Amino acid sequence: MPVPIKTGEVLRGRYRIRRVIGQGGMGCIYLADDQRLEGRTCALKEVEHDRTLPADLLREAREQFLREATVLARLDHPNLPKVSDFFSIASRDYLVMDYVPGKDLRALMMDARQANSFLPEEDMLAWTNQLCDALAYLHDQSPPILHRDIKPSNLKLTPSGLLKLVDFGLVKQAAPGEVTITILQGQGTALYTPLEQYGGDSGHTDVRSDVYAFGATLYHLLTNQAPADARERFLNPDALIPPRQLNPAVSSRTERALMWAMELHPDQRPASIAQFRSSILGDYNPVARPLSRSTIRSPLKPWQRQPERSLMIAGISLIVISFLATLAR
């Protein structure tokens, strides 16, 4: 693990390190003062590449970092921290972005859990709407950009009530018809990672992978209990407990939407963030059906509802005919 930079050290003659605010296997995230813009604080994400790589592969990895940092620097959305700079020092690369004040949603969930309560669903749906905006913006880029590490601790609520999706550590740029191209490589967090992402860079991920992580994140926040991970569910289909069994205050609509988003096979999930948004926020009204731990099915799509309606009408007709026949005797 890389040795953290000391407090007070200045990088690139501009960024004075205050303290470490995050740490991982590839480096640290620092809170720093921007000495060129007085009063501005920023977050520096550090990436140290594997020193055991052959020289040509190390060079390719660093060139890729610069290309991908350029992509991130072009993003501009209110629910995403703005990337303002990137640079390299010795064997380490740095990404500079806005520092986002406030608590992350994991901390808020833990506060609620300690108080023997749950985060209100009404608040959760408001935050869901904001996160949908951020992910739709990323997915609408050309080619689409995937976050790949949506989780409660990567969602920060600012004092003004604005939700920010932070940590671009695993962002990927999707190449049309191909597997995704890694931006600042990583594997994601197991509790919220779909099966297809376990393949790392060899697995095929698309926008539905973010949909799964989104659903798993909301599941955890609404129930105070982490969902069974995808590998466990593959071996034991009964492992995922429907949210309302853990928090009866969760609405049936929200439960259906979350279970749909967390389908193991990508083809069984919402095809887009827009479809997931309309499912959980009510514009899309799936047919109510009981959920069981052994079989959780996707809500019916509009074009699938006609056969079910026809069967219901036929059943009612038979009842009426039988009643009239009884009267005629």
Instruction: Find the catalytic residue in 104, 149, 210, 229.
Output: 149
CA distance 214 to 320: 47
Cα separation, 307 vs 312, in Å, equals 9
Q: Kindly list the distances between the CA atom of residue 69 and the CA atoms of 6, 251, 305, in Å, as whole numbers in the listed order.
A: 24, 40, 46
Q: Distance from CA of residue 202 to its chain's centroid?
A: 20
Give phi and psi for 11, each to the nearest 5: -100, 135
Chain centroid offset of residue 37 CA: 32
- Alpha-carbon gap, residue 311 to 323, rounded angstroms: 19
Catalytic: 149? yes
In 3D space, the residue among 39, 40, 31 whose CA is nearest the CA of residue 11 turns out to be: 31
First to last CA, the chain: 88
Q: Which residues of 31-69 are buried (b: 16+ CB within 10 A; e: fewer)?
A: bbbbeeeeeeebbbbbbbbeeeeeeeeeeebbebbeebb
Six-digit token string for 3: 């040795």
Catalytic residues: 149
